Amino acid sequence: MGKGQAAPEGAHAHHHHHHEPHEAEQLIAHAEQVCREKGLQFTPLRRRVFERLAASAGPLGAYDLVEQLGRERRISPISVYRALEFLMEAGLIHRIALRNTYLPCAHEHGAGETTVFLVCSTCGNVDELASSEIARDLAGTAAQVGFRPVSRAVELEGECQSCRESE
């Protein structure tokens, strides 16, 4: 199918387009460091998956990665999914549940913050913001009924500013 950015290059105003080579390198360096610190193995496969995500202008589906990595040598879906699972557990990438896509994590995630994803229906870009108010309110909401949250998916679908401006 190809979910990788239908977005036209050119009209970018935001910090969260991880496609310039420099940003990608930073992300990768950061991932390396995180793995070193946590004693996790940033293997070649995992690195290649992460690199592709870091280099992409937007979130990618698992099969986008299968295709992109398969240019050189065939890689099976399951391998990609295993790498994605590892990267998610390491806190290096996120999954967008609304789209079944993945993207590199753009923030350090403070304990008291909830990440909010803004998914543009037009250009496909995803913006990632952190909010402690929402974290607090969600915790309160869960507490009302004795629910103990383990993970969160807070995703808004709509139209981003640049798409709105160019109607």
- Interaction partner, residue 131 (DNA, its own copies, none; CB < 5-8 Å by kind): its own copies
Q: Residue 5 or 162: which CB sits closer to its own copies?
A: 162
The reply on whether position 1 binds its own copies by CB under 8 A is: no
Is 116 a residue that touches its own copies (CB under 8 A)?
yes
Residue with tokens 């099976």: 76
Give the Cα separation of 24 and 46 in Å (integer): 15
Q: Which is nearer to DNA, 77 or 110 (CB)?
A: 77
Task: Check binding of 156 to its own copies (CB under 8 A).
Answer: yes
- Asked if residue 160 binds its own copies (CB under 8 A), the reply is yes
CA distance 19 to 94: 17
CA–CA gap between residue 127 and residue 119 (Å, rounded): 7
Residues counted in the chain: 167
Between 45 and 138, name the residue whose CB sits nearer to DNA: 45
Per CB under 7 A, which region of 6-14, 22-30, 55-63, 138-146 contacts DNA?
55-63
Neighbours of 93 (CB within 10 A): 24
Per the DSSP assignment, residues forming a β-bridge with 96 are 101
Which residues are 72's β-sheet partners?
none
Phi then psi dihedrals of residue 4, to 5 deg: -70, 100
Question: Could you tell which of its own copies, DNA, none binds residue 79, using a CB distance below 5 to 8 A set by kind?
Answer: DNA
Helices within 62-131 (DSSP H only): 62-69, 77-89
Tokens at residue 78, please?
């399951």
Partner interacting with residue 120 (select from DNA, its own copies, none; CB below 5-8 Å by kind): its own copies
Q: Which is nearer to DNA, 14 or 38 (CB)?
A: 38
Q: In the complex, which residues of this chain contact DNA (CB under 7 A)?
A: 1, 3, 40-41, 43-46, 61-63, 74-79, 81-83, 86, 100
